[in-house]
Every structure is written in C-alpha cells, then in structure tokens.
Structure 1
Amino acid sequence: MPDSGNLKAVDASQRPDSQSQVRVYAMPPGENAGPVEIVQGFLEALTSDDPQFAMARKYLTKDASKGWNPDVQTTVLDSGPTPGTGSVGDGDTGRTFPLTGRKVATVDDEHAYQLDDEAYNQSVHLTQQDGPNGKEWRIDRVPQGVVLGQSDFQRIYWSVNKYYFATRSSGATGGGQEGLVADPVYIRQRIDPVTESVKALLDGPTTWLKQVVGTRFPTGTRLKAGTKTLAPDDQGKLTVPLNAKADQIGQERCTEMAAQLLFTLQDLASSGVEEVELQRRNGSQLCVLSKERAESVASRRIAEHPDFQYLIDDKRQLVRMPAGARGKADPQPVPGKLGSGEQPLRSAAVSRDEERAAGVSLDGRSLYMGSLVSEGALGKPEVRSKAKSEQDGLSTPSWDGRGDLWVADRDPKRPRLLWLEQGAGEPLPVKIANLDGRIEAVRVSADGVRVALLVKKDGRTSLRIGRVERTGAKGEQPQISVDGLRQAAPQMEEVTAMSWAGGSRLVVVGRESGGVQQLRYVQCDGSMPAGATLPGLTGVKEIAASEDEQQPLVAHSDDGIVRLPTGAQWQTVVEQGSAPVYPG
C-alpha cells in the first residue's frame, strides 16, 4: 500500500488506471509440492496476467498442456472454484479433485459475455511423473478453458465495444447500410488489448448481433501472417497490415473499415490511437483515416451534445432546460402545443433532432405528436389505448436514431408494443418472440437495432434486451419484430426504471433481493462492470441518460428533478416535475 504521495482527484466516469490496479503474478510449482498445492497453484495461475498462461501450464503434464486450450471459454463463478477433497479411483495411482461453484456467466470464443446461473461441476486429475528431483505431481486431465471468480474476472477482463454497420432490410427506405452499432465483448485488458481488439473486430460480429449488423471487411480478412502485435507510433498512428483478402478493396470501403477500427479502439483510453493506416499484404497503403474524419465516414447513432433536457412540469406541460447546466434551473415551455398546457401530459419523448415530440395524455390513453419548431395544431391522437385504469395505458414513448417511434400499450386485455414509422401513420404491432409477461416500459437504442424492455410477470419487473429485425419486400413498409430476448441486470430482483447511457450501456434503478434501491450501470449483454454503482438517491421513480456519456444523469426522485454532473453528487434542479427525458 502506498504511504506517501499527493492526492489526485478522479473523474467518476473514468476507467480506473490499468497501471495502478493490482497485478497478479503466477508462481511455478514448488519443489515436492503435494496434490493440493498443485491444484491450488494452478487455479491461482489462471487469475494472473500471464499472456499465454505459461506458468499455469507448468502445473500440467506435457500432453495435458498440448491438449488444453484456455481460449475456448472463460467460466465466471460467483466466488471462484472450490476444490474438493482428492480421491483415488479403483486401480488409479493418481488423484481426482472436484471443482465446484455457481456460474455467473461464460465468455465464449467470440469474447461474448453470456449470463449463466447453473452449477459448475468439473474436476482435475493428477498423476505423478518423473522430474529433476524425483517424482512430482502434475495435472494430466483438465477442463478446457479458464475458470475464475467474478472479482478476478472484473480485474482481468475489460468490456470493449466492437463496431459494425447496421444493415437495413430490403423493405426499409433508403437501402444500403446505416451507422455503426456497438457490439460489446470482453478482452484481457493487460495482454496487448489493442491487438486483441483488432483481432476480435476482424472475427466479425457476435452470434447474437450478426443477424442485424455487417462488417465492411471482406470475408476471411485477418492480420497479415506473422503479425504479433500492433501499437501506435509516437504520433498516434496505428498501422494494420492485412492479409490478401483485403488487397482489392476500393477507397470508400477501406475508409469504412478504418472507421470501424477507430471507433473500436476508442474504448481503449490508453491506446492513444489517433489515426489508422490499413496496408495490403505486400506493405503498400490501402487507406488512411484520422479520428477527426471518422465521424463523417460512419456515424455512431447518438444524440450528440443534445441542446436540452426535457421534463413534465407541475402544470402538466412539456418544458426544457439547457443540457449540462449546473445548479437550480428554470425550465421553460417548449415551443408548440405540447408546451402550452392545452393538453395535459403524463410523459413525453423528444426526437433526436429535437424538432418533434410525442406526448402521452394525463389519463395514459392517447399519444399526441407535436412540433417543437412551429405552432401547428396538435391534431388527433396517433395512438389510443382502451385501458380502463390510468395506471395502465401507454408507456413513455421512445425514438430511435432512424426517426421511428415506439410505445407500449399496457392495456391488460390487449398488451402490445407499437411502432410508428417516422412517428406518424398507422401504428404497427411489433412481434416479440418468447415474451413472457407484459411490457411496462420501452427504450430503443440510438442505432435502432436493440430495444430495452421492462417486463412484468407475477408482480416482478425485470429488464430484457431484444434484437430489432426488419423484414419485407422492397418498397413496402417493413415488418418489425423483436427476437433474441435476453435478461440483463439479473442481480436485481426488481427493476423499476432504465435508460440507454451509451452505445452498449444502460443505467438501471432497482433492488436486489432483500436489499435497498440502487442505481447501477449494466452492459446490454447482462454484465455489470466493477464500480458500476452510482451515488445513492432516495425514491427514484424515473431515470434519464444520454448516449453522449458526457451529459449528466437526470432523475425524478423524492427530492424532485435531480441531476448528477460528472464527478459530483446529485443536485436538485427542479423541485416540482416528473418524467425527465433526453432526446431519444
């Protein structure tokens, strides 16, 4: 522990400095080590920062080391594997040690994190072999992959977003491809993260996401044979030599490939990559792209630097206040009818260009569309619910980055998720595969590819993430469906509010079994990074975040409308109000 040195302020949104974190160095087997020491030493070696697990292999026989592939899968247990008592089988001169625990998740060979709460039951077998000092115990049968506890996993592995292009269906307007979509994966953060991130990107999107995204790298593109490591030069330029699969691509496609690389490496704050050069197999240049130009080549669909934060005031009208402001605020009614109080509102959603808003009536049965740039009439409701209770009816709407609007009708007799193309026209019901429960809230990611749902069943509300798929004939209105529903925030027994807070991250409000209300960040793959808990707040009813991670969180709590600026504590900005939202 350090006992001297200056104090240093840390930005709450920063990643911990990887150089200041604890490092674990594996130790080789001790001389005359017994079976128990060998098993424990091997398990400890799996938690080290050893690049190729060279020290862990010293605990294995030569044949076992050749057959063991640590990259097949990483199994994450809640508190690490527990070795049992060694046993001897009939006619066996070795020892078998069971390894048990409770799974939290697995990380597969695609680096994708998948929740798993099953029991872990494996074993290792030891035998005696000739060594330099006589007989020595070594492991000759070992489970494939790596197994370790959750705390070690959070120390060793780092969540990184790979970026791929969202593919439009033939039935969508415009054709072609859209902006970039974040595909979160986990890599070992100290074992050449730049090279590992590039390799993971070239491997293509994860299985869960690949139905709705695509890469601009030609099939089979890999790093040039013999390339061991990648690192930027003193000017922040990263040179990436590719194999022959990329030799014949054109300039436009090449710059799109480079944009995927640049955005992927942005999560590696220590990488220092400012520019990417792609090279052919013979070393000639394919293209060069700087970080400044990357946004013009392929945008990540986020509401960049929104002008305002929005809420419903005590007069039940839509008001706004400057985004990012500190201290007390004086929200002003938005331009147009939704800010006039003519139609009392319970919630609203603002389009990402901040030119339109969708408002839900106070009784929850009608959804109105209004302009934020003109004084046009409000018109008839775009959506009506037949719910009898005001506690049911329409949820808070959500806009995706394509300009389409989503809203859930919570009518117990006819619950449904509705989609309105460009926020107008006939609302279309969205088919949801394997939905078990009623949708209470909906938030669509900026890229329009993923949707977060709060689903209620048997009095319990949980968070689900689904994949948005669009199908249909060219020129016709697409059919919208949600597939691949998976759980997020499984540690929370009850989730009461959520909002997207980045390309693959959400902020959620809920509580664990027997616990108190918490605010936490979670990844859309269900993982919960270390240090994801936010400062406490009393009685949070609603939460709003921007995909622009520099913007403060906004919440409706017992203290009114409050904001959490970066590196500060919660601050009350409006004493009376509800339903805070950012554009989206």
Structure 2
Amino acid sequence: MGADREGGARRGPGRAAAYVACGVVLLAGCASMPDSGDLRGVDSTPRQETQVRVFAMPPQEDAGPNEIVQGFLEALTSDDPHYETARKYLTPEAGRTWQPELSTTVLADGPGIETERSGGREDADDVTFALTGTKVAVVDEQQSYAPADGTYSQSVQLVRDQKTQQWRIAGLPQGVVMGKSDFQRNYISVNKYYFASNLTAGTAPQTVAVADPVYVRERVDPMTQMVRSLISGPTTWLGQVVRSSFPTGVELQKGVTSLAPDDQNKLTVQLNNKASGVGTAKCDEMAAQILFTLKNLTPAVDEVELRAGDAQLCSLPEGDADAVAARGSVRHPEYLYFVDGKHRLVRISAGSSGTNPDPVPGALGEGDKQLQSVAVSRDEHKAAGVGIDGKALYVGSLVSGGSLGDPVLTSRGATANDRLTAPSWDAQGDLWVADRDPEAPRLLMLKEGAGEPIEVDIPGLDGRIKDVRVAADGVRLALVVEKDGKQSLLIGRIERGEKDERPAVAVRELRFAAPELEEVTTMSWAGDSRLVVVGREQGGVQQMRYVQVDGSTPEGPAPAALTGVKEIAASEDDQLPLVAYSEDGIVRLPNGAQWQKVDTDGTAPVYPG
C-alpha cells in the first residue's frame, strides 16, 4: 500500500531535510481525529515550501476503528525509516507479514475510507473498511515508477483484541498507498547508472553510461538507499540492454547501515567479500557508477573509495569518472544547427548569443539540395537531411568540398506528410528515420548512415510514427505515435542482434512518457532520462513541459511559455539553451532569461544527435 539536469533546478532550496524548532511534524497523534461521526478520507498532507521531518504517532489508547485506519494511513506518509510506527497499528501477525517495500500506490488524492462490512452489532469485534481512490502511478519493488489509471479499492480488516480491548488491523494489502502530494513530499527521482551492453565501437568507442531512474524516500538516508539500489542491479525494463560492473552477490558489508562522505567529501563504501577479487579496471567502473548516481543526489561526494574486508579495491575521484564512461549530459556540442531561409544547413556556436549563422562545410550547406529537416551526428563529422518534399534522405560529411551523392533512402508516400520524418543519429553513429507511407510504414536504421536500410521490428506498436529521437545513450528511443487523431509520446528499448547472419534491430516494450498529453507536437531529449515535450491535454492549450522516461514529472519549473511551437531542440547538456522553431522563427531560451529571436526565416533546429 501507502532528473535530471545536473546543476539545474531539480532540487529546490527547501528540499533538504532539517530539524528545526517546530520543524518536526507529528502525524496521527496531533492530527484532527474525530471521536465519533462518519468516516472520512485521509487528505494528502499539503506540500510545504520548507521541508521538515515528519514523524507519526502510535495509536492512542482506546482509539476506535476509524481512528486506527486513519492513523495508520498517516503513518505511511511519515519519515519513519522502517515503518515501525505504522506497524503498531497492526496485529502482531499482520505486522510480521506486511511488506511495505513491495510497492507504493499513488492516488490522485488521499485514500478514501468506506465501511465495507461490520459484525452487525455495536459491540462487534471485527470490522472491514474499503480504501478507495483513483490511481495515478505505482512504484514497484525495484523502485521503478509507472503511470497507472483506474479505480483503487482494497480492503482493510480490523479486530478487537480480547485481552486489551484495543482495535488493530489484522488484514491489509501489501505495500503502501498515499495521495499524490504526499508522494511528491516523500519521494524523489534519482538516476542510477549502468553501462550500455548493446553498443559496439563506432562513434562511441568509450563505454556509454545509461540512466535508470528510480524513486527513493527523500529523507530516509537516500544516499544509502541509492547505493543499495544501484548494487542490486538495473530495473527489469532496462536490464535487457545494460550491464553492471558489480559482480553477482556483491552487497554492502553486513553491519553497514548508513553511508556518508567524510570531511574531505570522500565516500568509503565497504562491500562484502564477493567483491574481493575485482580488478582495478572493473573497480573503477563500479566507483564511476556510484559517482554518476550520487551526483544526481548531492554535490557532497567528490571521490569514492571501494573496500572489501580490510583491503582497498580502488579509489576514484569525480574528475576521473568521465574517462571511465561517457554520459550524454556531460557531452558539450560545438554547434547548434538549423535550416535557413534558403533551405541550407547552417550553424552557430552552441550557447553563444550570436544570430549570424554560417552554412556548414560540405554539400548540405551549399544549397544544391533544399532541405526540410536535418540531423547531425554526435561527433559532428557528418549530417543527414531530408529533402524539401520529404521524399529523399541524403547523408554528407561536414568538410569543405564533400559531395552528396544519391539519396540513401527514398519514400513512396503520396504527400510530404506521408513521407520521411526528421532523422536522428545514435551514439554508435547509426542513422534512424521513419517512413510514414501509409502503404508501407516503417522504422529504419542505416548503419553509420549508409548501406541497405535495416527495418526495425517494433512489437506492440499501435499507430503511425510521426517523429523519432534516439537518446545519447543509444539504448532508448523516443517516438511520437499517431492513432485516431491523437499523438502520444512513447519510449522503447533498443535491442540489437543478428538474424540470418544479418544485423537485426528491435524496439521493445514501448511505454508512455507523457500519458496526460493527447496531442504531442514535438519533443527532444533534454537530459540522461528527461525529455522536453510540446503538446496539450484534452481540452487544453499548447504547453511545454519536461517529462521523465518513466512517465513521471520531474521537479522544477517548466520552460517559459512560448506560443506556436512547431519544433523543439534541447541538448542533454543543461548549460545549453532550449531552441525552438515557432511562429517567430528560430528562438532560444538561455538559462535565467526569456525567449530570444535567433533567425526569423529558420526552421528545424537541432543539436547533434
């Protein structure tokens, strides 16, 4: 029952837990509890600007059944690390079998309480209540968030102890449940990091780090929670395409209950003997995983030392971690690219305040082929462009004198809207594009942007692809899919292999990343596990927001409003501005500023990728 950009606004100034005068909130014992009257739902605790530690109170003497249920639900939203106070509302047997860590069900409001069944007499010794509400999400045992909908209804059975005459809960569902505002107050999304296992040397010869977002209780030693979660392995959805450098069986050494850096900002992690045979290179990868993960959570860790028994395995400073594995969020593009009024590929220095773009070197910047959409490889050595009519896809190098040659792909769609989407490059240097031809809709991948296109298998795809964006990690793909007039944002897992001695690629287990939006206009990756999306809810107006790959909404403000947005471009590097193509042409949003015009005639802005 019951982020993403580094250095950004994900964690507000009041998010740290603190003990202050009048700053410890006691739930249940000091809450307003009726002595009589009808039962009522447990309202979610309003979110407070200054975060405080919240503790529950045990059941009061001679509390009635309704007070026991309400007190128990309040205790679930407290900062009690092991729910010891909540267990005091249960019978001894129920306390032994209840497993709160199995799941967290998030409801739109606090759970409602309805009498389901009583013993039929005023002095009956048992009563059953129904907990009800509208589901928003479920966080599973792996701490993985998934949007949910529909009605929540679970029974809670109470009995009166024959000796003490005190009411206690004897039957209840596993896990915890709480309202959305309590969930937002109690939990925080943090990326843990693993390494891509489906990539080979290409433009990504270095190991690639992949973010795996999970939710942990924010004021219950989140650092130790995250290290334990990291060591335990990736979530099921991502586990097919990533690897961990922690050997099977490795855990924190028995007796280690809390982790904290010393006064030199070094975190020492004591592992069990299963880690004792790890070599230096593997140990550095383990330490890098911890550093990447904790960087999301706190700036207070500058070095990680791993030990097993009495021996030091390795010690890795933060400055050396990026040499172990590459992350999209620390890759700094050199240029911002877009199509100018002459339908050429042009560029300006990324992050600059300039407004005078230059044509790129090579054929795509010369204007011989008029372009409607473009993509630039992540190493910025070559680019792909779709012709003005959407029919042909060209690939050329970004060097002076480079030729273009014939199209690498041609669509047979009858109109421009039924032809090729904008292309996208992955971390391996392969090029992705969808053909929207209603007679033969396909998602295609071209190895290093050339050769025979590989048709990508997408089990479960229900609709027609309108837009394609590959994550910097190369293992996740974002799609805008249209069906019955609605356009949804979905995230899929990229799996690579061979079939009949030829490369085979599939995108599996599609899931919604912005379930509230019924019309997604455009989107772009904006962090290791975050995207920026333009769309609208049912009956609403166009809006721009950030979303997590798991379908949750990250903390922090949405981008400044902008009307008439047709295309959006973001970099995984949060120091670079958002860029959009709107009714004002190409505009950008520097950090801490308002939207600024860049080029009134430009379209199709992109960062590398």
Counting only pairs closer than 5 Å after superposition, residues 73-92 of structure 1 correspond to structure 2 as 73-85=103-115, 87-89=117-119
Kindly provide the CA deviation profile for residues 235-290 of structure 1, in whole angstroms up to 9, marking residues without a partner as x.
111111111111111111111111111111110125x111111101x221011111
Query: Which TM-score applies when normalising by structure 2?
Result: 0.89
Native 8 Å contact 1:303 1:546 kept in 2: no
Counting only pairs closer than 5 Å after superposition, residues 533-572 of structure 1 correspond to structure 2 as 533-572=558-597
Q: Secondary structure at the match of 1:511?
A: strand
2:268 corresponds to which residue?
A: 239
1:522 corresponds to which residue?
A: 547
1:579 corresponds to which residue?
A: 604
Instruction: Tell me which amino acid in the other structure corresponds to 2:108.
Output: D
CA–CA distance in structure 2, aligned partners of residues 544 and 392 of structure 1: 23
Instruction: State the Cα distance separating 1:303 from its structure 2 match.
Output: 6.8
Q: Secondary structure at the match of 1:478?
A: strand
Instruction: Please point out which of 456, 468, 476 is paired with 1:450.
Output: 476
Instruction: Please point out which of 351, 366, 381 is paired with 1:355.
Output: 381
Q: Secondary structure at the match of 1:467?
A: strand
1:460 corresponds to which residue?
A: 486
| Alignment pair present for 1:278 and 2:301 | no
Native 8 Å contact 1:157 1:187 kept in 2: yes
2:341 corresponds to which residue?
A: 314
Kindly provide the CA deviation profile for residues 358-407 of structure 1, in whole angstroms up to 9, marking residues without a partner as x.
01100000011122122212111111011110122111100111111100
The percentage of counterpart residues that share the same residue type is 58
2:37 corresponds to which residue?
A: none
2:67 corresponds to which residue?
A: 37
Native 8 Å contact 2:361 2:399 kept in 1: yes
CA–CA distance in structure 1, aligned partners of residues 305 and 158 of structure 2: 49
Native 8 Å contact 2:283 2:313 kept in 1: yes
CA–CA distance in structure 2, aligned partners of residues 135 and 443 of structure 1: 62
Instruction: Tell me which amino acid in the other structure corresponds to 1:529.
Output: P
2:11 corresponds to which residue?
A: 15
CA–CA distance in structure 2, aligned partners of residues 135 and 168 of structure 1: 61
| Alignment pair present for 1:340 and 2:366 | yes
Native 8 Å contact 2:136 2:147 kept in 1: yes
CA–CA distance in structure 2, aligned partners of residues 391 and 437 of structure 1: 15
1:294 corresponds to which residue?
A: 321
Native 8 Å contact 1:94 1:126 kept in 2: yes
Kindly provide the CA deviation profile for residues 428-478 of structure 1, in whole angstroms up to 9, marking residues without a partner as x.
11111111111000000111101000111111110111110001289x652
2:279 corresponds to which residue?
A: 250
1:226 corresponds to which residue?
A: 255
Instruction: Please point out which of 71, 80, 84 is paired with 2:101.
Output: 71
CA–CA distance in structure 2, aligned partners of residues 25 and 516 of structure 1: 41
Instruction: State the Cα distance separating 1:130 from its structure 2 match.
Output: 6.3
Native 8 Å contact 1:522 1:532 kept in 2: no
Kindly provide the CA deviation profile for residues 289-321 of structure 1, in whole angstroms up to 9, marking residues without a partner as x.
111111111222457111111111111111111
Kindly provide the CA deviation profile for residues 11-45 of structure 1, in whole angstroms up to 9, marking residues without a partner as x.
86341131232543323323332222221121111
Instruction: State the Cα distance separating 1:491 from its structure 2 match.
Output: 0.8
Instruction: State the Cα distance separating 1:162 from its structure 2 match.
Output: 1.2
CA–CA distance in structure 1, aligned partners of residues 339 and 52 of structure 2: 46
**Structure 2 unmatched ranges of 5 or more:** 1-6, 17-49
C-alpha change, 1:434 and 1:86, in structure 2 (3 Å) is: closer
Instruction: Please point out which of 98, 116, 126 is paired with 2:158.
Output: 126
Kindly provide the CA deviation profile for residues 313-365 of structure 1, in whole angstroms up to 9, marking residues without a partner as x.
11111111121123x61222111111121111101001111111101100000
| Alignment pair present for 1:62 and 2:71 | no
CA–CA distance in structure 2, aligned partners of residues 456 and 97 of structure 1: 43
Which ranges of 4 or more aligned residues in structure 1 deviate by more than 6 Å? Answer: 171-177
1:7 corresponds to which residue?
A: none
Q: Secondary structure at the match of 1:100?
A: strand
Q: What RMSD over aligned residues (CA atoms) do the two structures have, in Å?
A: 2.1
C-alpha change, 1:547 and 1:176, in structure 2 (3 Å) is: closer
2:3 corresponds to which residue?
A: none
Instruction: Please point out which of 453, 478, 496 is paired with 2:503.
Output: 478
2:514 corresponds to which residue?
A: 489
C-alpha change, 1:63 and 1:212, in structure 2 (3 Å) is: same
1:505 corresponds to which residue?
A: 530
Instruction: State the Cα distance separating 1:571 from its structure 2 match.
Output: 2.1
Counting only pairs closer than 5 Å after superposition, residues 182-221 of structure 1 correspond to structure 2 as 182-221=211-250
Instruction: Please point out which of 56, 67, 70 is paired with 1:26.
Output: 56
Instruction: Please point out which of 162, 167, 176 is paired with 2:197.
Output: 167
Query: Which TM-score applies when normalising by structure 1?
Result: 0.93
CA–CA distance in structure 2, aligned partners of residues 39 and 16 of structure 1: 33
1:397 corresponds to which residue?
A: 423
Instruction: Tell me which amino acid in the other structure corresponds to 2:453.
Output: P
CA–CA distance in structure 1, aligned partners of residues 476 and 425 of structure 2: 12
Instruction: State the Cα distance separating 1:563 from its structure 2 match.
Output: 1.3
Native 8 Å contact 1:303 1:352 kept in 2: no
Instruction: State the Cα distance separating 1:118 from its structure 2 match.
Output: 2.8
Native 8 Å contact 1:277 1:288 kept in 2: yes
CA–CA distance in structure 2, aligned partners of residues 581 and 258 of structure 1: 34
CA–CA distance in structure 1, aligned partners of residues 93 and 585 of structure 2: 65
Instruction: State the Cα distance separating 1:114 from its structure 2 match.
Output: 1.7
1:372 corresponds to which residue?
A: 398
| Alignment pair present for 1:110 and 2:142 | yes
Kindly provide the CA deviation profile for residues 534-581 of structure 1, in whole angstroms up to 9, marking residues without a partner as x.
321101111111111221111111222221222222222222211111
Instruction: Tell me which amino acid in the other structure corresponds to 1:58.
Output: K
Q: Secondary structure at the match of 1:196?
A: helix
Instruction: Please point out which of 175, 179, 192 is paired with 1:145.
Output: 175
Instruction: Tell me which amino acid in the other structure corresponds to 1:510.
Output: G
C-alpha change, 1:205 and 1:534, in structure 2 (3 Å) is: same
CA–CA distance in structure 1, aligned partners of residues 68 and 192 of structure 2: 38
Kindly provide the CA deviation profile for residues 202-236 of structure 1, in whole angstroms up to 9, marking residues without a partner as x.
11111111111111111111000111001110111
